[in-house]
């Protein structure tokens, strides 16, 4: 077999999908945008040029390191993504960034489509970035697998409309901007779905959102995302903070509406934790600025950090807060478990399939600030029980590693790619 896989980002689950085919001798090429190539003269030049205008491109490249594939298997086309990164530094309301993102996605898709060859035995693509590629694959008679990493877009839009109705302060020019473009983006995703021979999702929750929207889910295959290698058990048992110091709550990833960030801030106000609890946020903050005014004490915001540093933060923290409103999986949960960190999440996260309430974390109601506050208060008053969860959290990760994901992905796609 000779399979082409493409995505504009090099997120861990994308790299693992490419590795699934590479380790079986089936990968023809992985095409992406920006990836870290420290020996590249182009990257050195761009990093130096970025410093002249105050842009830390070295950090951006490090966040896009590919560790799982030989460099010869990777084809990088970075310019559009680097433009988006540069514009995002100045684009406060994110509308221009969204415009550049969409144009980049469509251009990337057309570029990949031009590279297809009839000798390929399979094409593996991702949502909103594969329609031209899939159409060209159909013309060449190449089977197509479609990876859908997010719940059905119409449901996401409905949730955002409900949230802005309940909390008018969430309304923004950016949400209005994306709402006007939502129909064509949904139509594009539906067309990609129709082209696919197989659709890969990461959870039952994700599949069900598409079933409720009336899409054909007979071709859906559920392949849960894997966990990174678990931390050694001795390190797990001594992780986290001491019981006589503030409880350390970690947030990893975008601090946004759909992830339930505004409910977490409300929970902080309700809980009145004072100096007893610290919240450390590592990720881009996309909530409207007015929601970030007059915050309670103990909340600290930091930019996204490279994954090795994030793993260290998991080890040092006491619990991960992931109160998502709607998430197909939530890879931060498996990352946290791999480092022995218990997780607070909702029934609207696909990762809830792996959560055992009171064993490796706490399962709470979605869209409920009181539930979040109660969970954090429980952690604060049950420090010993919370620490004991660390071993069970690590055990959760050991039972479904990335190697298990890769084997399951090959099994799910093989019947289509070997036709």
* Tens of pLDDT, residues 98-112: 888 899 999 999 999
Query: Cα-flanking dihedrals φ and ψ of residue 85, to 5°?
Result: -60, -45
Q: What is the pLDDT of residue 307?
A: 87
- Relative orientation angle of helices 331-338 and 383-398, to the nearest 10 degrees: 110
Nearest CA-CA partner of 17 in 57, 69, 52, 64: 69
Domain locations in the chain? Answer: 3-226+402-417, 234-398
Question: Quick one: which of 189, 106, 113, 181 has its CA closest to 146?
Answer: 189
The dotted CATH code for 234-398 is 3.40.50.2000
Contact 207, 220 (CB under 8 A): yes
Q: Cα-flanking dihedrals φ and ψ of residue 284, to 5°?
A: -70, 130
- List, in sequence order, every residue forming a beta bridge with 321; answer none if it has no partner: 344
Of the candidates 47, 285, 82, 78, the residue with the CA atom closest to the CA atom of residue 174: 285
Q: Is residue 62 within 8 Å of 38, Cβ to Cβ?
A: no
Residue 5, CA atoms < 13 Å, CB-side half-sphere: 24
Cα–Cα distance list, 291 to 88, 172, 264 (Å): 20, 11, 11
Alpha helices in 122-260 (DSSP H): 131-140, 153-166, 173-195, 204-212, 233-237
pLDDT at 89: 74
Beta bridge partners of 373: none
Which tokens hold the place of 267?
A: 């929970």
Cα atoms in the Cβ-side hemisphere of radius 13 Å centred on 348: 20
pLDDT digits (tens, 9 = 90+) for 370-394: 999 999 999 999 999 999 999 999 9
Residue 15 burial by Cβ neighbours in a 10 Å radius (0-12, 13-18, 19+): buried
Q: Can you give the pTM of this predicted structure?
A: 0.86
Q: What are phi and psi of 363, to 5 degrees?
A: -100, 125
**38 vs 42: CA distance, rounded Å:** 9
Residue burial 37-55, b: 16+ Cβ < 10 Å; e: rest: beebeebeebbeebeeeeb
Q: Do domains 3-226+402-417 and 234-398 have the same CATH topology?
A: yes
3-state secondary structure of 258: coil
In the numeric block, the tokens 């960190």 are attached to 341
Q: How far is 156 from 327, CA to CA, in rounded Å?
A: 9
**Whole-number pLDDT of residue 360:** 98
- Cα gap 109→40, rounded to integer Å: 25
Q: Which CATH architecture has domain 3-226+402-417?
A: 3-Layer(aba) Sandwich (3.40)
Question: Comparing C-alpha atoms, which of 285, 286, 291 is closest to residue 263?
Answer: 291
SS3 at position 93: coil
pLDDT of residue 62: 63
Distance between CA atoms of residues 79 and 100, nearest Å: 11
Cα 118 to Cα 36: distance, rounded to the nearest angstrom: 30
> Taking the C-alpha atoms of 121, 137, 6 and 182 in order, what is their torsion angle to the nearest 10 degrees?
-150
The two beta strands, 343-346 and 277-282, are unpaired
Query: What are the pLDDT tens digits along the chain (419 aa)?
Result: 799 999 988 888 999 999 999 999 999 999 998 766 666 666 666 677 667 667 776 677 667 777 788 888 888 887 777 677 777 777 777 888 888 889 999 999 999 999 999 999 999 999 999 999 999 999 999 999 999 999 998 898 899 999 999 989 888 888 888 888 989 999 999 999 999 999 999 999 999 999 999 999 999 999 999 999 999 999 998 899 998 999 999 999 999 999 999 999 999 999 999 999 999 999 999 898 889 999 999 999 999 998 899 999 999 999 999 999 999 999 999 999 999 999 999 999 999 999 999 999 999 999 999 999 999 999 999 999 999 999 999 999 999 999 999 999 999 999 989 76
Distances in Å between the Cα of 349 and the Cα atoms of 160, 229, 253 are 16, 22, 15
**φ, ψ at 104 (rounded to 5°):** -65, -45
CA distance linking residue 262 with residue 163, whole number of Å: 10
């Amino acid at each position: 077999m000779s399979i082409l896989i493409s995505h504009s980002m090099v997120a861990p689950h994308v790299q693992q999908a490419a590795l699934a085919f590479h380790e079986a001798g089936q990968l023809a090429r992985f095409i992406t945008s920006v990836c870290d190539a420290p020996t590249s003269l182009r990257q050195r030049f761009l990093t130096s040029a970025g410093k002249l205008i105050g842009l830390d491109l070295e950090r951006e490249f490090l966040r896009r390191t590919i560790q799982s594939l030989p460099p010869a298997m990777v084809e990088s086309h970075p310019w559009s993504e680097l433009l988006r990164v540069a514009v995002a530094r100045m684009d406060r309301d994110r509308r221009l960034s969204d415009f550049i993102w969409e144009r980049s996605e469509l251009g990337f898709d057309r570029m990949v489509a031009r590279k297809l060859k009839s000798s390929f035995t399979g094409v593996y693509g991702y949502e909103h970035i594969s329609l031209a590629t899939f159409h060209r694959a159909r013309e060449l008679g190449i089977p197509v697998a479609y990876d859908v990493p997010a719940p059905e877009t119409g449901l996401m839009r409905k949730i955002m409309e409900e949230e802005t109705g309940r909390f008018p302060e969430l309304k923004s020019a950016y949400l209005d901007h994306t709402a006007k473009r939502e129909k064509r983006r949904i139509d594009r995703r539906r067309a990609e779905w129709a082209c696919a021979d197989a659709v890969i999702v990461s959870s039952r929750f994700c599949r069900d959102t598409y079933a409720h929207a009336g899409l054909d889910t007979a071709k859906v295959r559920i392949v849960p995302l894997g966990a990174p290698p678990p931390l050694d058990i001795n390190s797990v048992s001594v992780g986290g903070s001491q019981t006589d110091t503030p409880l350390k709550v970690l947030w990893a990833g975008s601090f946004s509406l759909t992830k339930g960030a505004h409910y977490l801030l409300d929970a902080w106000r309700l809980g009145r934790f004072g100096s007893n609890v610290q919240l450390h946020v590592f990720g881009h903050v996309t909530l409207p600025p007015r929601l970030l005014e007059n915050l309670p004490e103990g909340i600290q915001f930091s930019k996204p950090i490279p994954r090795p540093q994030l793993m260290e933060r998991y080890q040092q923290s006491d619990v991960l807060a992931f109160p998502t409103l709607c998430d197909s999986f939530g890879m931060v949960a498996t990352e946290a478990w791999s480092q022995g960190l218990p997780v607070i999440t909702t029934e609207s996260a696909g990762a809830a399939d792996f959560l055992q309430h009171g064993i490796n974390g706490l399962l709470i109601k979605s869209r409920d600030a009181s539930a979040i506050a109660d969970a954090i208060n429980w952690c604060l008053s049950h420090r010993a029980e919370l620490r004991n969860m660390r071993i069970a959290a690590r055990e959760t990760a050991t039972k479904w590693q990335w190697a298990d994901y890769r084997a399951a992905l090959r099994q799910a796609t093989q019947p289509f790619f070997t036709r």
